[in-house]
Structure 1
């Protein structure tokens, strides 16, 4: 399929995954989905944070005060979730 990407994982048991990278933004307390976006190609996790936060800001008309992410997002210029 043309919309499926090969994502290199670099792990011994699972070297590749096939699909499309997506970002899902939820509220911290209730778990409501407030944003969902797909990213074609194989972008690095840290490079998907800003577009995901921008989408949440557009859809909810509020800027998030806190973004809880894993270690792949560290050090990519997002000091505060400002869009």
Structure 2
């Protein structure tokens, strides 16, 4: 069993209204000095294989087909 963590974030230059809302809320709560908040998504997956190369290939395909909108989002994969 291989565990994968996929982190999906918006590409630089893509507007992030949710990040801006979080930034404003943090400031309103008294957390000064917070700037350029970007939000994202994290997916934790358990892949039923011992082949790390196959797991990475499969997770990349999952990201490209479903987990990330590659037009506006980047993703990183970490295998454990």
What's the TM-score once normalised by structure 2's chain length? 0.38
Q: Look at both structures and tell me which one has the larger radius of gyration over its CA atoms.
A: 2
Greater strand content: 2
Greater RCO between the two (CA within 8 Å, min separation 6)?
2
Please state which structure has a larger fraction of its residues in helix: 2
